[in-house]
Structure 1
């Protein structure tokens, strides 16, 4: 499959974004907003706006992608539910993409960047963490499982001189380390649907998409209701 058209959504943080990649015309479109608690109201209109801008219809899409997490539970459910509805109605495949990997990919658009540590605020006194190196295909390659930990437990020794920081959780880490937030300032703060679409494209091309009903969020934190610092 070549020359794909992909619509991607992300609602995993306070930010929300929708992107459309049209490889047949070498075109990319994205709408990005910081809009806490507006995800359910804004995602579909933004998608319709993008399609209109591109002169395309939903039925023209070869597949869909979304930020599958980790991230805000409500936002992940909204994005998953919307993409299930869109893809299911058209019988198109979906590629769930790690939001941490999408942030790493945004950093690695700078070809000098190799190692990226992504830290996202998980609330409840914790952060989501993922470490990535540039893979042989240029896409982020995970160095271990994504995890949720207390900021004080984040291993600073891994943050070598070549480490690039990304994500909105670094101020929380800086506070835990009694550092000024500027010392741990991230290169990029929010995941973007455009990076999600770009990462999804080669997966979709080789048939790695899933049926709409299997497009599910990945929360990482198993127990949403447990108290911070509680037993896992």
Structure 2
């Protein structure tokens, strides 16, 4: 009998990540490969290699979870397009988009109480940050609401009016975020040096085959949506 797998794929940042699990959700492998925009043509090769290490092929994946950010326009589009191509018109194969922020926040604090509201902070460039909220549901952080863009002035007001169970940022973006948020707030921010995508596989979000609703850190020039 052919093996069946679940997989999560993400290229929202400066590295490609993939998590592979068996059909029962048992994690088999977490892979990461630094990947800049000019190297993104290797995404399919990377994904195929990760599933091959588990004894399968991309065609053996029946459930796909794709990281939808917040992140870079190009990387997320490529990951979504790859999975859309692998799943289109194939019976019994489903996909969904899950906020990459969920994986980052779960790496920062796995044992928060149910219904806790946390926020992941991203470098938005141009002296701004993007704050994206997640809520702990059934033991896993899920995207909650829309992202909020803040500059040094609006950040002070925002954090004086809103409280979170946890704040976190990727270590590579901590310096940029520190310049925007008030010092007393940044002192509470947890730095995440690395994360995997197991949280995306554990998400309770519906497999709706919608890979179009990506969360951009900064809107890009409009292109036609993935059909």
Whether TM exceeds 0.5 here: the answer is yes
* Cα RMSD, aligned residues only: 3.3
Q: Residue 54 of structure 1 aligns with which residue?
A: 54
Is the 1:5–1:62 contact (alpha carbons within 8 Å) kept by the matching residues of 2?
Answer: yes
Is the 2:140–2:199 contact (alpha carbons within 8 Å) kept by the matching residues of 1?
Answer: no
Q: Residues 48-97 of structure 1, C-alpha deviation per residue, up to 9 Å, x if partnerless? A: 11211111222322221111122111111111111111111634211100
Task: Provide the C-alpha distance between the structure 2 equivalents of 1:25 and 1:99, rounded to a whole number of angstroms.
Answer: 18
Q: Residues 76-127 of structure 1, C-alpha deviation per residue, up to 9 Å, x if partnerless? A: 1111111111111634211100122232233342457954320112223332
Runs of 4 or more, structure 1, over 6 Å off, are none
* TM-score between the two structures when normalised by the length of structure 2: 0.76
Q: Residue 201 of structure 2 aligns with which residue?
A: 197
Task: Provide the C-alpha distance between the structure 2 equivalents of 1:28 and 1:219, rounded to a whole number of angstroms.
Answer: 28
Equivalent position to 2:123, from 121, 124, 147: 121
Q: Residue 219 of structure 1 aligns with which residue?
A: 215
Gaps of 5+ in 2: 222-227
Task: Provide the C-alpha distance between the structure 2 equivalents of 1:152 and 1:73, rounded to a whole number of angstroms.
Answer: 27
Corresponding residue SS for 1:90: coil
Task: Provide the C-alpha distance between the structure 1 equivalents of 2:216 and 2:126, rounded to a whole number of angstroms.
Answer: 14
Is 2:169 aligned against 1:166?
yes
Task: Provide the C-alpha distance between the structure 1 equivalents of 2:10 and 2:39, rounded to a whole number of angstroms.
Answer: 9
* TM-score between the two structures when normalised by the length of structure 1: 0.74
How many residues align structurally?
A: 213
Equivalent position to 2:208, from 187, 207, 210: 210
